Structure 1
Amino acid sequence: MKIKTITCHEVYNYGASLQEYALLRYLENLGHEAETIHYKPPYLSKHFKLWIVSNEFFNKNIILRGIYLILKLPKRLINLKRKRKFDEFSIKYIKTGNRLYRSNEELKDNVPEADAYICGSDQIWNSFFENGKDATFYLDFVPNDKLKLSYAASFAIDELEDDIKGFVKEKVSNLDHISVRESSGKRILENLGFDKVTQVLDPVFLLDPKEWTRLMLPQVEEDIINKGKFIIVYDFDNDPVIKELAERLKKEKGWKIYAFNEMIDYADKNFYLDGPEVFLSILNNAECILANSFHAVAYSLILHKNIAVFNRSDKINTRMRDLLQSVELNNFLLNKDTISDYKLDIIDYKQVQDKLDVLIEKSKKYLDTALEN
């Protein structure tokens, strides 16, 4: 079967890139011909632009604009290294059509040919962002005689604003099969009147851990191992609570701190300019992972790592909370009042894996059955 997927594409985020790869790879493992649609609307195309002025104050006149750009340019040129690494990963591992689409109208005018279309995974339906209000991510452009389904689509929030509910209900109604990643997403759709919604795992869980090992870089792993033990900080908010725990573990264990976010200035080494393969390679050798990232938590479970999980500041925490609840690790969602009780090496990963295996089988069954129909 020829299948086209659509997700937030080339947004230069580790989780976004790896989940996109995972779904395509799983479909290929089933014997399908799978490609992602090269969809880049303007609101998802602003990454690493050298001449963008993001502060309106400096847009007031040409002199202020010039000063702003001159000050920003050196750092932006350095950050292009990150873009190149992600682009190399996409070219190597993520199959996509040659045509670039920038709007829903362009897709409707020239629909990419396929037997089935899948929207998901990641936060494609998060209405805090533009993608959640974009009909494209609900497969609005696909003719009604084609098979349309969602896989692990995420709202990433607990409830919808009233003004978006009608839009979501209308667009989701056109799907032949519906699955979401979080129980909160299932509840959102059930409250809109949908009674056949399946909760599934993120695509990264569809692949055997050995498949992730194949993406890792032996030389990176060897270099890292030779430099001693370390913990990973993956923190989008520069959370002082995460910093406190990281520095405590460093002091107690003598471990180094490695990070993947530019703003983490207390790390012994920061890998934010590196691509997904380095990300996986380093996570695979960490003693512990401290994160407010959903996919960092997901890979911690896949790789059987010590974890400490923290909420984000922007109210998109249902993803991590739900994943931890699904394997009964709720007590590893920490805050400033509970980090003092944090202990290493107490996760029974045999029990966790047993629970994951049941959820993985359910997720595969949904996708296999939907495509067979």
Structure 2
Amino acid sequence: MKIYTITCHDVYNYGASLQAYALMRYLIKCDNDVEIIDYKPDYLSNHYKLLSIHNPKWKKNIITKSIYLVLKIPGRIPGLNRKKAFDKFKKDYLKLTELRYKSNEDLKKNVPIGDVYLCGSDQIWNTLFQNGKDPAFYLDFVPDEKIKASYAASFATDSIPEKYKPMIKEKIERLDGVGVREKSGVEILKNLNIKMAVNVVDPVFLLDKKDWDVITKEEYGEKYILVYDFDDNQLIKKIALDISKEKGYKIYSLNPGKLKYADSNFTFHGPETFVSLIRNAQFVIANSFHAAVFSIIYEKEFVIVNRKEAINTRMKDLLEDLKLKNRLISDTFTLDDVLKKIDFSDSKKILNEKIGFSKKYLRDVISLSERMRNVL
């Protein structure tokens, strides 16, 4: 089958890049011809622009603009190294369409010709962000006669605002298959009277450790705790410092900005380093969904802390489903609780069943196109 996927693949985020790669790679392993639609609307194109002015009060005149940029540009230049690392990953590992599309209308005017179209994974339906309101991420541009489905699409929250429900219901009812990443997503759709939705795993789970080892070449010569923190979270800092003191491990950080308490900062590295650092860590502390996912794949000791943003449902659902709920840590933690060794045996059984179900879902979606082709 010729399959096109669409997701937020180029937003300089580890999880976004890796889930895009994983779905593409798994479908290729199943002998399909797969491309990721290079969809880059304006609202996803604001990364690493040296001359952008985000605060309206500095846009008053040429003098205020100049002052703003003189203050901001020196701090932005080092970030281009991170952009370079992600762009290299995209070039080396993601098979994109030759055309880049900037809007749903662009896609409608020149639809890439394929057999099956998949939207997902990740937070493509999160209405807290613009992508959750964008018809393109609901495959609105795909003709009615083509097979359309979501795979592991995420709302990232427990509920969606009332004003977006009619649009979401209309767009999703056009799909031939609805696979969402969280069980809460299934409930959201049931409340919209969409009963065909099923819960499937994040696409990074479709690849096993051997598949991921192909892109993880880096080794580190010491024992370390890996910290990945979006919020400058004081609880994460305390846990990291307590474990470091107890175990004598170094602290490595993957944060976009340097952590002062870390021994080594991997600020400007790409997705391959993200996976390598988790694979080789003694302990992972994060408020990242995909940090939890890769910790589970590599069976690493880890804890997860809630984010300030209201997008914690995906982490809570994942850990509850795999009987790892105790790895979600609050302010009342004790070091003994954190350091209690994780028994992954039950989690692996549950996860393997979910992976099997998810692979069957994809096979069934693809077979719809095969049956349609035979009929025609």
Scaled by the length of structure 2, what TM-score is found?
Answer: 0.96
Partner secondary structure for residue 43 of structure 2 = helix
> Which residue number in structure 1 is paired with residue 25 of structure 2?
25
> Which residue number in structure 1 is paired with residue 255 of structure 2?
261
Conservation of the 8 A alpha-carbon contact between 1:245 and 1:339: no
Q: 1:288 aligns with which of 276, 283, 290?
A: 283
> Which residue number in structure 2 is paired with residue 196 of structure 1?
196
Return the letter of the residue paired with 1:51: L
Return the letter of the residue paired with 1:355: I
Residue 236 of structure 2 is aligned to residue 234 of structure 1: no
Partner secondary structure for residue 357 of structure 2 = helix
> Which residue number in structure 2 is paired with residue 37 of structure 1?
37
How far is 1:345 from its partner? Answer: 4.8
User: Structure 1 runs of 4+ off > 4 angstroms?
Assistant: none
Return the letter of the residue paired with 2:25: R
Return the letter of the residue paired with 1:206: L
Partner secondary structure for residue 231 of structure 1 = strand
CA–CA separation in structure 2 for the residues paired with 1:140 and 1:341 = 51
Conservation of the 8 A alpha-carbon contact between 1:18 and 1:204: yes
CA–CA separation in structure 2 for the residues paired with 1:233 and 1:106 = 40
Partner secondary structure for residue 148 of structure 1 = strand
Partner secondary structure for residue 53 of structure 1 = coil
> Which residue number in structure 1 is paired with residue 293 of structure 2?
298
> Which residue number in structure 2 is paired with residue 7 of structure 1?
7
Matches within 5 A, 1:140-159: 140-159=140-159
How far is 1:146 from its partner? Answer: 0.3
- Per-residue deviation, residues 314-357 of structure 1 (Å, max 9, x unmatched): 10001100110111011111111124453325211222211111
Partner secondary structure for residue 77 of structure 2 = helix
Residue 87 of structure 2 is aligned to residue 92 of structure 1: no
Conservation of the 8 A alpha-carbon contact between 1:121 and 1:152: yes
- Per-residue deviation, residues 204-237 of structure 1 (Å, max 9, x unmatched): 00011100001111xx31xx1x2x2100111100
- Per-residue deviation, residues 41-81 of structure 1 (Å, max 9, x unmatched): 00000010111011222222221211111121122111111
Return the letter of the residue paired with 2:243: L
How far is 1:265 from its partner? Answer: 2.6
Q: 1:339 to 1:120 in 2, by over 3 A?
A: farther
CA–CA separation in structure 2 for the residues paired with 1:115 and 1:360 = 24
CA–CA separation in structure 2 for the residues paired with 1:262 and 1:171 = 35
Scaled by the length of structure 1, what TM-score is found?
Answer: 0.97
Return the letter of the residue paired with 1:173: E
Conservation of the 8 A alpha-carbon contact between 1:321 and 1:330: yes
- Per-residue deviation, residues 235-267 of structure 1 (Å, max 9, x unmatched): 100110000100111111111111111343321
CA–CA separation in structure 2 for the residues paired with 1:279 and 1:185 = 27
Query: What's the RMSD between the two structures over aligned residues?
Result: 1.0
> Which residue number in structure 1 is paired with residue 246 of structure 2?
252
Conservation of the 8 A alpha-carbon contact between 2:303 and 2:338: no
Give me the identity figure in percent: 50
CA–CA separation in structure 1 for the residues paired with 2:282 and 2:332 = 23
Conservation of the 8 A alpha-carbon contact between 1:262 and 1:270: no
Partner secondary structure for residue 36 of structure 1 = strand
Count of matched residue positions in the alignment of Structure 1 and Structure 2: 367
Of residues 273-282 and 128-137 in structure 1, the stretch that sits farther from structure 2 once superposed is 273-282
CA–CA separation in structure 1 for the residues paired with 2:261 and 2:67 = 29
Residue 272 of structure 2 is aligned to residue 277 of structure 1: yes
Give ranges in structure 2 of 5+ residues lacking alignment: 369-376
Conservation of the 8 A alpha-carbon contact between 1:104 and 1:135: yes
